[in-house]
Amino acid sequence: MKILISTDIEGVAGVFHAEQTRAGNGEYERARAWMTAEANAAVQGAFAGGASAVLVNDSHGGFRNLLPDQIDPRAQLVLGKPRYLSMMAGVEDDCDGVFMIGYHGRAQSRGVLAHTINSGAFARVWLNGLELGEAGIYAALAGEFDVPVLLASGDDVFIAETQPLMPWVRYVQTKTAGGQGSGVTLSPAAAREAIAQAAEAVTRDAMARPEARCFELDGPINCRLQTVTSAHADLFCQWPTFERVDGVTLSFNAPTVQSAVRMLNCCSAMSFMLK
């Protein structure tokens, strides 16, 4: 069994402030070490449960946060950008299951550091009428490759919004959100232990019962995107196939989830010209 571990930072135990997610300061260096340790706990749990191979996808920011020398040497890393499948890169490489580690709530929620893809540009995202955060969007992308999400970790808000979409997933709550920048957290050591135990259990269970469900959206995909400002909508609607719905809302169609994700990530990259 081959497992893909997609690792973000906002859902990691101990992370509550944006400074912890941005390179160039001491708080970030500590947080990226905690992120690496949670990813490594998932790696070790997957191998303990019988996995034959593990890929770890660095899924935060510039995708260069994980510390390669701290990861179990049996695993391989997916680092850097651009990449077509973004947070799910590697899923196309004959993977059997996905772990989402350190994930967070969608934009406009009360979750810790909640956002969807780009906090400075995207306010809300709907695919085929479903409002989704990063977990839902990328689970649907994995579903196009017939790969189920088996495990996810993050705060209570993230779990509450994701569980109805994927009730079969094993969830590990690393913290309880008090708001965008506050809450109660497990210690990094306790979070690592919980993640490792859950990873071992779900891997072993998936090997015994490989028919786990996928979260799937049937194409074609209609994406409705609400932007943070009207300037972002002005910019994105330079794309000829985008339809302007109102001052901050646009809509576009894509044949697949993968195509929709690539278009959203192009918009995210375009948004930096407004800074």
Respond yes or no: is residue 17 known to be catalytic.
no
Interval 17-30: pLDDT, tens: 999 999 999 999 99
Work out the number of other CB atoms within 10 angstroms of the CB of residue 235. Answer: 17
pLDDT digits (tens, 9 = 90+) for 108-150: 999 999 999 999 999 999 999 999 999 999 999 999 999 999 9
pLDDT at 57: 98
Give per-residue pLDDT as tens, 163-217: 999 999 999 999 999 999 999 999 999 999 999 999 999 999 998 887 779 999 9
Bridge partners (DSSP) listed for residue 254: 221
Averaged pLDDT score across all residues of the chain? 97
Of 133, 141, 138, nearest to 111 by C-alpha is 133
pLDDT tens digit string along 56-103?
999 999 999 999 999 999 999 999 999 999 999 999 999 999 999 999
Predicted confidence at residue 37, as pLDDT, reads 98
Q: So where are the chain's domains?
A: 2-117+133-208, 221-274
pLDDT at 260: 98
Query: What separation, in Å, do the N-terminal and C-terminal C-alpha atoms of the chain show?
Result: 44
Catalytic residue among 17, 60, 104, 115: 115
Q: Residue 106: its pLDDT value, please?
A: 98
What is the dotted CATH code of the domain comprising 2-117+133-208? Answer: 3.40.50.10780
Cβ–Cβ under 8 Å, residues 76 and 55: yes
Spatial separation of the C-alpha atoms in residues 153 and 104, rounded to whole Å: 8
Q: Which residues of 104-140 are buried (b: 16+ CB within 10 A; e: fewer)?
A: bbbbebebbbbbbbbeebbbbbebbeebbbbbbbbbb
pLDDT tens digits, one per residue of 203-260: 999 988 877 799 999 999 999 999 999 999 999 999 999 999 999 999 999 999 999 9
CA–CA dist 34, 26 (Å, integer): 13
CA distance 33 to 262: 29
Query: What token pair was written down for 112?
Result: 């810790």
